A and B are shown apart, each in its own frame.
Chain A
Amino acid sequence: MSSLATQLDACRAQNRPAVVGYLPVGFPDVEGSIEAMRALVESGVDIVEVGLPYTDPLMDGPVIQTAATRALESGVRVRDVFRAVKAIDEAGAAAVVMTYWNPVLRYGVDEFAHDLAAAGGSGMITPDLVPDEAAPWMSASEEHGLDRVFLVAPSSTAERLASTTAASSGFVYAASLMGVTGARTAVDDAAELLVSRVREVSDLPVCVGLGVSTRDQVAQIGRYADGVIIGSALVRCLVDADTPADGLRALRHVASELVAGAHESRR
């Protein structure tokens, strides 16, 4: 059993959704990002999405892009992602890498899978890689025992929901709305509908992301989803902070609030 499944099962046993938190490696610097990811785990986050900064992140909104751009400017390298993964694994949470496809392709799909597994990573979320183009990743993930988290969207047809979930493992990433990452004041009703459509074709856990930023939203989504994914709201703590210490303090506060939302969602 992969650690994604382990974490999600444990959350299910507690009758609550898992909390999945995203942070990019390398922001404010590599050490600082690893420290921030540890802080997420200490605040009760179950699964950490380790973002690999990329020059052309077309699924990301301004907050995550700002952090990724600064990480690249300060010299983050692809291999740094494995250090972060290892630290999260050691801290007791599951680590899953979220990355655009080209850095993986350039690194070598098999080499990347090998190094990710060796670092204790669970798998990979691929925002611009749909199963149709994923043959090399399908075989590398099989070989190295990694989970493949593909995205589904409100616009996905029934046929694609079936084929995409069939290619997925660990969990299915349900994009709550049509759009890019970034906090929204209200999470679209499309999320609940999408989750129920996924449940008709798959037994995999479904985690909802995009636009989730508040304790209330986590509680609300957690009633019907197996996990809630938060990105920009966490990254913003670090982007807006005057000092790294302030950033970590804000991050712990926000993460604890979101985790509290998960714990109260089904009461």
Chain B
Amino acid sequence: MTDTTVPTDANVQTGLGRFGEFGGRYVPEALVAALEELDEQRLKANHDPGFIGELAELHRSYTGRPSIITEVPRFAEHCGGARVVLKREDLNHTGSHKINNVLGQALLTKRMGKTRVIAETGAGQHGVATATAAALLGLDCVIYMGRVDTERQALNVARMRLLGAQVVPVDHGSRTLKDAVNEAFRDWVANVEHSHYVLGTVTGPYPFPEMVRDFHRIIGVEARQQVLDAYGRLPDAICACVGGGSNAMGIFHRFIDDSGVRLIGLEAAGEGLESGRHAARFSGQAIPGVLHGAFTYVLQDEDGQTVESHSVSAGLDYPSVGPEHSFLRDSGRAEYDSITDDEAMEAFRLLARTEGILPAIESAHALAGAMKVGRDLGPEGFVLVSLSGRGDKDVDSAARWFGLLDEGEV
């Protein structure tokens, strides 16, 4: 176990949306009024029993919360024999943790009297969740998605369209998540009067990192109680994948004060750190800078131009990371490691074969992290893994990866 200084909410927040030096609000002036309105509304909602009750009821009767925890002993044999327990966000309606945040933001959209939501998506899970909430609450919905991602996540594109959303492929830049975020911001600047941007992760300008974390905090709140009830103790380590970092912040946050629990974020090392084709913001050559409204670690070149990231997982393929992760990393409270495409896909295969669970490729990075940390901890160890999403959307990618499709088969 690691002995670390424990930040609490009181000392993490050091100014308007700052986690230490990270965060802030680097946006066009046109958006400032909307950000201020959003902050005011969500702070009010946090104390409004009506809002809290409505969201809790949606969690219970629509999302399927609380999500269960599942011990995976056959998988754990590949993790040094440590006890491994999964927090099953994959069982949520729409197939990932993303719905937690989206339902909260969709309710806020209604409260603000706005009628349209904009979102960006990489793997499609956030887009599907947003399209779902929009259908449920009767909001118009536009989803921006990099052209590359629409191709590798075609099933989710179809799903969003079936739900009534307009999916707009983005052909600028690297044509992945980063460029979809740019396009979503542009739409928002032009339509801020009646549209809310449902940002999908714990980054962006204040109050998004804090608000999105708060909506996902339920993951860790539930998991902490569940492991205490079932095992009478806290885990030694929590593993979660980190793209923008929303599922990781969601499960980490309730444990921040538990100094004996190691918080381990797993980034995508893609084809390997030395290849330059990765999304490892903390393990690579990234330094702090500004991208998409926040001061945080960013993969960038010596001129401050954003460097394209790479991962087999569309959801982790992002050159920046939530500012609170940057703070947790620099303060030493959380550890960050990176997992290559090969390692993630091996963990994907193992969980499927040993436990009958197909994880999202994003979540497979967390599983690969559990394999590493489990071997460090040994048979006495106890690892909690955030299984942030299910692998239905990744069946095609995984089948191709493992060569399971004959020529011409889809």
State the A residues within 8 Å of B (CB).
Answer: 54-59, 61, 65, 69, 72, 77-78, 100-107, 127-130, 132-133, 150-157, 160, 164, 175, 178-180
Contact = CB atoms under 8 A, between A and B. Distances in A.
Contacts of B31: 155
Contacts of A132: 16, 25
A59 to B, nearest CB: 5
A69 B289 contact: no
Given A56-B178, A106-B303, A155-B31, 12 more contacts: A58-B292, A100-B290, A102-B290, A103-B305, A106-B289, A151-B30, A152-B29, A153-B28, A155-B30, A155-B192, A175-B30, A178-B189
Give the one of B29, B34, B173 with max A CB within 10 A: B29
A102 B25 contact: no
B348 interface: no
A126 to B, nearest CB: 9
Give the one of A102, A103, A132, A179 with max B CB within 10 A: A102
B141 to A, nearest CB: 20
Interface in B297-312: 298, 300, 302-306
Given A54-B305, A155-B192, A105 B289 contact: yes
Interface in B23-42: 24-34
A174 to B, nearest CB: 10
Contact of A56 (B32, B193, B287, B306): B306
Contacts of B172: 65, 69
A267 to B, nearest CB: 33
A69 B303 CA distance: 14
B192 A55 contact: no
Given A105-B304, A107-B303, A151 B33 contact: no
B22 interface: no
B282 interface: no
Interface of B: 16, 24-34, 172-173, 178-179, 182, 185-186, 189-193, 287, 289-293, 298, 300, 302-306
A61 B182 CA distance: 11
Contacts of A133: 24-26
A152 B33 CA distance: 11
Given A56-B292, A102-B304, A130 B189 contact: no
B368 to A, nearest CB: 30
A175 B29 contact: yes
B326 to A, nearest CB: 15
Contacts of A104: 304
A58 B26 contact: no
Contact of B290 (A78, A101, A150, A151): A101
A130 B172 CA distance: 26
A211 to B, nearest CB: 11
A178 B303 contact: no
A175 B178 CA distance: 25
Contacts of B287: 106
A108 to B, nearest CB: 10
Main SS at interface, chain B: mixed
Nearest to A60: B186
A69 B173 contact: yes
The 10 closest A-B pairs by CB, nearest first: A106-B304, A153-B30, A103-B304, A179-B190, A155-B33, A55-B306, A102-B304, A58-B185, A102-B290, A151-B29
A47 to B, nearest CB: 20
A160 B186 contact: no
23 contacts: A55-B305, A58-B186, A61-B186, A72-B305, A102-B289, A103-B304, A104-B304, A105-B289, A107-B304, A129-B26, A132-B25, A150-B29, A151-B29, A153-B28, A154-B30, A155-B32, A155-B33, A155-B34, A160-B29, A178-B189, A179-B189, A179-B190, A180-B186
Give the one of A69, A77, A105 with max B CB within 10 A: A105
Contacts of A69: 172-173
B32 A156 contact: yes
Contact of A130 (B32, B191, B192): B32
B303 A128 contact: no
Contacts of B292: 56, 58
Contacts of B293: 128
A36 B16 CA distance: 42
Give the one of B26, B30, B293, B300 with max A CB within 10 A: B30
Nearest to A130: B29
Contact of A106 (B34, B189, B300): B300
A164 B179 CA distance: 29
Nearest to B184: A58
A118 B30 CA distance: 32
A129 B28 CA distance: 7
A15 to B, nearest CB: 30
A178 to B, nearest CB: 6
B303 A77 contact: yes
A164 B289 contact: no
A55 B32 contact: no
A55 B178 CA distance: 10
